[in-house]
């Protein structure tokens, strides 16, 4: 039987700890991006069917989507511009993501354009 040295177990434990910390912070940033993509998808869907809806109906649905996704209040400030043949929907907001030793503000600008 060969005796094992203790430091190899500590090195492995340290690497697992580092991997867990990286995974935790990557998950925080990933959730933020995922919410952005879901909100942008909701905008694209509203732009796709905008010919049958009023601006107030679109605003109501998108504000509800922003609220259900847990986005900041400023995400509810949605702009809608209609021309004779197209619609443009957009918003601007910042999300704060926890990183090691600081909090990073990420600016998002979801947009959708569609025909009427």
Say yes or no to pLDDT of 50 above 80: yes
Which residues is 87 bridged to in the sheet? 82, 114
What pLDDT score was predicted for residue 8? 62
Measured CA to CA, the distance from residue 18 to residue 26 in angstroms comes to 12
Q: In the predicted model, what is the mean pLDDT of the chain?
A: 90
Token pair 């434990």 is found at 13
Cβ–Cβ under 8 Å, residues 112 and 46? yes
Q: What would the pLDDT profile of 73-91 be if each residue is shown by its tens digit? A: 999 999 999 999 999 999 9
pTM, to two decimals: 0.82
Q: Which residue has the higher pLDDT, 98 or 94?
A: 94
Strand segments, DSSP code E, in 4-110 are 79-82, 86-90, 93-99, 102-108
Domain parsing of the chain, residue ranges: 8-115
Strands 93-99 and 102-108: antiparallel
Cβ–Cβ under 8 Å, residues 40 and 24? no
Q: Which residue has the higher pLDDT, 58 or 29?
A: 58
């Amino acid at each position: 039987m060969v005796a094992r040295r203790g430091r190899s177990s500590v090195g492995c434990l340290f690497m697992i700890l580092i991997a867990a910390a990286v995974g935790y912070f990557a998950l925080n940033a990933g959730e933020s991006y995922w919410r952005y993509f879901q909100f942008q998808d909701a905008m694209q869907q509203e732009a796709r069917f905008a010919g049958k809806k009023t601006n107030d109906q679109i605003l109501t649905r998108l504000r509800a989507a922003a609220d259900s996704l847990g986005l900041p209040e400023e995400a509810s400030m949605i702009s809608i511009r209609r021309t004779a043949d197209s619609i443009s929907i957009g918003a601007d907001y910042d999300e704060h993501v926890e990183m090691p030793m600081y909090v990073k503000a990420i600016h998002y600008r979801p947009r959708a354009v569609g025909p009427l």
